[in-house]
Structure 1
Amino acid sequence: MKKISVREFVEFVLKKGSLDSTSSTSTHSALEGSRIHREIQKEMTAQYGKNYASEVVLKRAFHQEDFTLQIEGRADGIVHSETEIFIDEIKTSETVFSEIEESKLALYWGQVKVYGYFYCLEENLSEITLQLTYFQTTSEEITRTQQTFGLAELTSFFQECFSEYEKWLKFRVDWESERNQSIQSLAFPFGEWRSGQRNLSKAVFQVLREEKKLYAEAPTGTGKTISTLFPAIKWFAESESAIERLFYLTAKTITRTVAENTFSLLREKGLEMKSITLTAKEKICFMEEVKCTPEACPFANGYYERRNGAVWELLTENNELKREVVEKIARKHSVCPFELSLDTSLWVDAIICDYNYLFDPRVALERFFSGETTESIFLIDESHNLIDRARSMYSATLSKNAIRKVRKLFVDEKHLSKPLGKIERVFDSFHERMTSDFYSQSLPAESMIHPIYEFIEKGREYLGEKKEFEHQEEFLQVFFDCLRYQRIGEFYDEHFVTTVEKVNDDLLISELCLNPSEILQSILEKGKGSILFSATFTPLFYYKKLLGGRKSDYTLLLPSPFEKERQQVMIDRMISTTYRNRENSMKDLVEHLYLFVHAKKGNYLFFFPSYQYMDKTFLLFKERYPEVKSFIQDVAMTEQAREQFLAKFQENPSETTVAFCVLGGVFSEGIDLKGDRLIGTAIISIGLPQINEKLSLLKEYFDKENKQGFLYAYQIPGMNKVIQASGRVIRTMKDKGVVLLIDERFARRDVQELFPQHWFPHEVVGTPERLREVLEEFWRGE
């Protein structure tokens, strides 16, 4: 049986008009909207007593030849007495009621008309009164309008809507039958399972069956994409709970491409499955400037008049909906490609997208995740990235300079400048109590809440009145910063801290998320099972804890599939790379790096903990060994510059090539230099982040939580960067290479406890001669 909410049903069939970011951006959150609903419902209860019921579930199942559709929802309120019967639908917005577009009003009335139809059938009524209660948030004015409909009229309305929706549902049901038949006969595409793949696939299947979470470390070469996707796809056909879609979530474009290629491979083997890749609005927009208003964009103007035709063609003529396919159909139908991809995603089997579409409160797909649960499963690739990403997603910052600038620009708009002035005074009050350039407190900045809310309310009213105005860009930046600050404040609890810091001549106030685990846990539990996997999940207990795992969730640690003889891990304990010893040890470091690359002609990467350290070492290396072809990573590189950088790593090199890079940068993760395009990596230092105030807060937080502050704030994140960089060397079964860890601290026991299993056994070298001997022995015969 298929299920759909009343709101989704009505919006899909009846929604008309244009895309307009200025009218669709709500200044009050879902929590604020819920509060307003409760207040109105409370007043109705006081007025009607036992004759009034709120949040009344109304649902109806419709049986067709090939499927059953259940449409369900909650009426905000129903009054049922001997003298009157009516259904009340509550809506909230900043727009004045008289200025609401007819197309939006039609949606409001369409929703309550469906409730009225269901209630008439349920209570055997021949007619019913429907009421729309509209709360205008800036003035707090309530407008109530009523209409009375006969059952015959409601029946006709509903049947017309259902008839339009029916063809879409029949298409979906027929497609799912075809899809599941193809899945049942689908075989593993490579014939033989590589080491670790079968164990990972079995674990994925088991976890999805139990609707839990799996945290799996699958070292490079395991083939983790196919090992997670294949069993997840198989689960579609075998699950009794009717899985509707699969989300493959990634942090980087390259891993999205790997997922796309894996789907393509499975289609070649007979899979019938529709997948779509969501591309960021800024990248896929057809216009020079991203401005989603009907006045500025022809693809936004009248979008909903043409949307369903574009979605239908995209769905019925394609199974692999990559960016170029979406763009082609969007141009043909003159619709926004970004919104088209989102609307089409409701009908596909798999969605490949960035983390933020699930986790980020600013852009999360409410069409999927607004309820408590969803019939979806989540595959989260390179999940070690998600901790820092989540901390960023659930943190917010305001700038005093930006606030002051907008206040001065809009000084004549007193309703705007007045609350901005109040926000400035909050900055000043914090500034007065600061004894250094950094201040923190565990409590939120309570005095900031009301003026921010006031500015947002007045700002939204202003935006509703003016489509274009001078200094619009500066205003919108501050407006959205305040909106974000307000929304993040709704999550604020003991896992957050408020910081105030002086940066040059500016003052910044931030709500800083220290531990996102509970937020991530609540989001992941919206699905019917989650698989979080990475090549670097050591130690597993850390990642399971911070990525929302429960005790009952599973972990899996797989061995490396590569032969140990094909990779040599060495620790050079002769050199100290601590900050105070770098200058004194740099000459020895350069000598050891030369010994490293001199042992065999080929391509090498050197990773440094900072640009300054890298730059100084590079200059000295070039001076002492000019015959070695070497180049260095720039601070800011375009995508084209990165590609040119990697293109220097040629197959079958005729000379030794060395690239100096920054640890944790763009070249220490996600690049794939197979074969002899890379045969060695040297990692200088254990990767500890530079000590700063915010990391100190993180250390303090975890010291209180589990007495492991230094481990959680510094050691594990640092070693993750080291492990990621080392993973660039061996990418396939035929690769052979060396990893040199340069720092005396790598030989310490507490550091080696954070090594991945496949680094054991390793060689600890204590003299240059021994370094040369180990390298010569490893490369002998090559």
Structure 2
Amino acid sequence: MAASRDSSDGQDHWRFFPYDEPYPNQDEAMSRIAAALGEERNVLLEGAPGTGKTLSALVPALEHAREEDKTVVITTNVHQQMRQFVADARAITRTEPIRAVVFKGKASMCHIDVDYRECQTLRDTTRDLVEKQEEVDELNARQQDLLDELQAGSEGAGEARQAVMDELDTLESELEEFEDGNVCDHYRANLTRDTGAFFSWLFDDVRTPQDVYDYADREGLCGYELLKEGMEGVDLVVCNYHHLLDPLIREQFFRWLGREPSEVITVFDEAHNVESAARDHATRTLTENTLSAALSELEDVDDSRAVSAENVLRAFSDALCETYEEALAFGEREQVGENWYDLSIANDDRRDDLTMRFLDAYEGRGISTEVELALQLGKRLDEEYEEAYKQGETTSRKECQTLQAAAFVSAWMDEGGDLGQHPMCSVRRDGGSDEIYGRAELYTCIPREVTQELFDQVSATVLMSATLRPFDVTQDVLGLEDPVTMAYGLAYPEENRRTLTVDVPPLFSSERSNPETQELVAETLADVLRFTPGNTLVFFPSYAEAERYYERLRGRAGGTSLWLDGSDIDTEQARQRFVASDDGALFTSLWGTLSEGVSFDGDDARTVAVVGVPYPHLSERMEAVQAAYDRAYPGNEAGWRYGVEIPTIRKTRQALGRVIRSPDDFGVRLLLDRRYTRESRDMGRYGVRGSFPTEERTEFVDVGPSKAKFAILNFFTDHDAYTGDPPRP
């Protein structure tokens, strides 16, 4: 399909735009992003679902990169969006050829299933083997030439050949040792065979990681290493968040690109998730099992530093055990299962309980001194483990537990009291022994410590999402300096959608257990299902609430088929059954996987309902995040607003965006809770209506629970959506 062109200046205006016409607002967005990239300014782009955000960012980014010799990296943490990026890149390259690579982590592309460190060692030993073989081949060729000269009567050829033969004997002996070591045959094939056909195939189209894996598996090559080799100087890379958010991976990633950070333009999709993803990447943990393994490792080490390492790590291990034993309240031990169970150890007026116990338990020459000795020893041991694996003395690359433990203890003592770092202790039950063991964790509350460095390094970044506002909060949380901001709402006909705010009692935790309130919500949902001509998505604050109303509506939903999602349910299968239905309802959690990044187009879903205000569980982690934001941004309840309210409203807006995905689509969206209505004005910070963007809340229509069915009936009747006579109220 030909792209829309502006040839008034003799050149294509948007040469990378692959379709006939842009969506409404898309041309303006591309122009504004192009101007921002030219000034190396970051961009915050909010666009309603289905408004073409990806191409709005990609087209000007590729244009700028082509003119300035840069590379565009577009990233997401949602699998469906990754597939959409591939589809868009393929469409682009059929209009204007680009060299694109879709990159995933090694774990998903390895043919022999080894971890990263083991792979790294295998790569080194294999490269050494191949280089040694090349030296042997060169010497063999040289001695043959000298033999020919000797037979031809050349003086001195015999002595020179003997010297070559002596060197050859030495190298062949070394080569035998390499052959006995651990190597990767797939990577060896990369180094010894002509891989030109692979790269011709790779850049003939936009290939998925599975495409690359299948090709490499068929040919006996290592696709992951070939991708790394082929990334240098490409136009576009599609990847996951961790390639950019992890500082160590990012440094390597840019090196594979052959680019300085200033030569890279980054594009983050579903950027409202960057905050939590950055927090996860920055958080560090150390389990009791790792400490035990480190202490066992040190028992056999003949090094004077082992005494210091054992002393400091044993004191920390003992302090960890004492801390979680003391923190477990009466009867709490029985509640601990195979998932990590958080325990409170933080204090307002001093360091945390674990640190205090560690300081009390420790006896030695000084924690900093002995931790440094432990780090030195750990690095030495790690080098020995790598060499043993290279030489084939071990079948797997052993990890140095002392190094891991000492690095964590060093960070715990140096950074545990910093703003934004929250010390945690957790326990879990071992599935085999049924014993409880502990974990220390430095939980990172403020993600800008991870993201700001990235945004300062690269040429520019475009962050896009359907739910980035309020922009000032996103700017603060991620550490963005003076970004260009733009927001585009649904440009589709307003008459094709209706947003109802239903005045059921505010569903606080105490109210949710009220039988009368439950019955009122159930009656309202039954009306929603009955008067929706097609499928209905229903989101709740938790899977438990979803199950509660699923059970309440069984037997009273008429001909509507009910589907339940849950943490132990195959969500994709439930989704497929739901969209295949003509009249179904899917009950799920707003914090599950269906609330964002998944489209329910057309008849897939005609109505979406959000029941309650789905605040996250107010755990100690959330309280720590709130406290950190309150300290970082004093005043205006920054902790509640940044840490709880805004992420919750973003989740709600994402859920509402699952329906009405095209100009011809139509549907009803419901918010069931008084906190969404005009009545919420008297509810203080718990009234959330004002947290929605102005143009969205102006579409809200307040209705009573018994009136919702009439509003739904009238809307779908106006759209001639019922087959036969509409239901009667």
So what's the TM-score if we normalise by structure 2? 0.74
Displacement of 1:235 after TM fit? 1.8
Question: Residues 309 and 228 of structure 1: is their aligned pair in 2 closer, same or farther, counting only changes over 3 Å?
Answer: same
Kept in 2: contact 1:306–1:335 (CA 8 A): no
Unaligned runs of 5+ in 1: 1-180
Partner of residue 75, structure 1? none
Matches of 1:307 and 1:363, distance apart in 2: 28
Kept in 1: contact 2:566–2:589 (CA 8 A): no
| Aligned partner (choices 422, 427, 432) of residue 312 of structure 2 | 422
Report the 3-state secondary structure (helix = DSSP H, G, I; strand = E; otherwise coil) of the residue aligned with 1:647. Answer: helix
Matches of 2:622 and 2:193, distance apart in 1: 47
| Aligned partner (choices 411, 418, 421) of residue 497 of structure 1 | 421
Residue correspondence of structure 1 range 192-591 to structure 2 within 5 A: 192-237=21-66, 239=67, 242-269=68-95, 271-290=96-115, 292=119, 293=122, 298-299=184-185, 301-302=187-188, 305-306=191-192, 309=195, 313-314=199-200, 318-327=204-213, 330-331=216-217, 334-366=220-252, 368=254, 373-405=261-293, 407-408=295-296, 411-413=299-301, 419=309, 422-429=312-319, 436=327, 437-440=343-346, 447=367, 449-450=371-372, 453-454=375-376, 456-467=378-389, 494-504=418-428, 505-550=436-481, 552-584=482-514, 585-591=517-523
Report the 3-state secondary structure (helix = DSSP H, G, I; strand = E; otherwise coil) of the residue aligned with 1:320. Answer: coil
Report the 3-state secondary structure (helix = DSSP H, G, I; strand = E; otherwise coil) of the residue aligned with 2:63. Answer: helix
Q: Which amino acid aligns with 1:694?
A: R
Displacement of 1:622 after TM fit? 1.5
Residue correspondence of structure 1 range 609-620 to structure 2 within 5 A: 609-620=541-552
Displacement of 1:561 after TM fit? 1.6
Question: Residues 216 and 460 of structure 1: is their aligned pair in 2 closer, same or farther, counting only changes over 3 Å?
Answer: same
Deviation by residue 1:49-99 (Cα, 9 ceiling, x = unmatched): xxxxxxxxxxxxxxxxxxxxxxxxxxxxxxxxxxxxxxxxxxxxxxxxxxx
Is it true that 1:756 corresponds to 2:693 in the alignment? yes
Matches of 1:200 and 1:657, distance apart in 2: 38
Report the 3-state secondary structure (helix = DSSP H, G, I; strand = E; otherwise coil) of the residue aligned with 2:554. Answer: helix
Matches of 1:261 and 1:488, distance apart in 2: 45
Q: Which amino acid aligns with 2:83?
A: T
Residue correspondence of structure 1 range 600-749 to structure 2 within 5 A: 600-625=532-557, 627-636=559-568, 641-650=570-579, 653-654=581-582, 656-706=583-633, 707=635, 708-747=638-677, 748-749=680-681
**Aligned sequence identity (%):** 20
Partner of residue 6, structure 2? none
Matches of 2:538 and 2:398, distance apart in 1: 42
Matches of 1:476 and 1:593, distance apart in 2: 56
Aligned-residue RMSD, C-alpha = 3.4
Report the 3-state secondary structure (helix = DSSP H, G, I; strand = E; otherwise coil) of the residue aligned with 1:374. Answer: helix
Q: Which amino acid aligns with 2:88?
A: T
Kept in 2: contact 1:311–1:340 (CA 8 A): no
Displacement of 1:753 after TM fit? 2.2
Matches of 1:665 and 1:249, distance apart in 2: 21
Kept in 2: contact 1:300–1:336 (CA 8 A): yes
Partner of residue 106, structure 1? none
Question: Residues 296 and 368 of structure 1: is their aligned pair in 2 closer, same or farther, counting only changes over 3 Å?
Answer: same
Q: Between Structure 1 and Structure 2, how many residues are aligned?
A: 592
Matches of 2:522 and 2:439, distance apart in 1: 41
Question: Residues 751 and 482 of structure 1: is their aligned pair in 2 closer, same or farther, counting only changes over 3 Å?
Answer: farther
Report the 3-state secondary structure (helix = DSSP H, G, I; strand = E; otherwise coil) of the residue aligned with 2:250. Answer: coil
Matches of 2:12 and 2:192, distance apart in 1: 33
Deviation by residue 1:410-461 (Cα, 9 ceiling, x = unmatched): 7545767973663242243366578743123697969485476256324413
Greater alpha carbon shift after TM alignment, 297-306 vs 528-537: 297-306
Displacement of 1:519 after TM fit? 3.3
Residue correspondence of structure 1 range 592-607 to structure 2 within 5 A: 592-607=524-539
More strand by share: 1
Question: Residues 511 and 756 of structure 1: is their aligned pair in 2 closer, same or farther, counting only changes over 3 Å?
Answer: same
Question: Residues 317 and 546 of structure 1: is their aligned pair in 2 closer, same or farther, counting only changes over 3 Å?
Answer: closer
Displacement of 1:487 after TM fit? 7.7
Deviation by residue 1:464-509 (Cα, 9 ceiling, x = unmatched): 3532899979956886576677689998884432413242433322
Matches of 2:714 and 2:212, distance apart in 1: 54
Matches of 1:478 and 1:378, distance apart in 2: 37
Report the 3-state secondary structure (helix = DSSP H, G, I; strand = E; otherwise coil) of the residue aligned with 2:89. Answer: helix
Partner of residue 157, structure 2? none
So what's the TM-score if we normalise by structure 1? 0.69
Partner of residue 110, structure 1? none
Q: Which amino acid aligns with 1:305?
A: L
Deviation by residue 1:207-241 (Cα, 9 ceiling, x = unmatched): 1100010111111121111111111222234x4xx
Question: Residues 514 and 498 of structure 1: is their aligned pair in 2 closer, same or farther, counting only changes over 3 Å?
Answer: closer
Report the 3-state secondary structure (helix = DSSP H, G, I; strand = E; otherwise coil) of the residue aligned with 2:587. Answer: strand
Displacement of 1:247 after TM fit? 0.7
Q: Which amino acid aligns with 2:49?
A: T
Matches of 1:477 and 1:631, distance apart in 2: 46
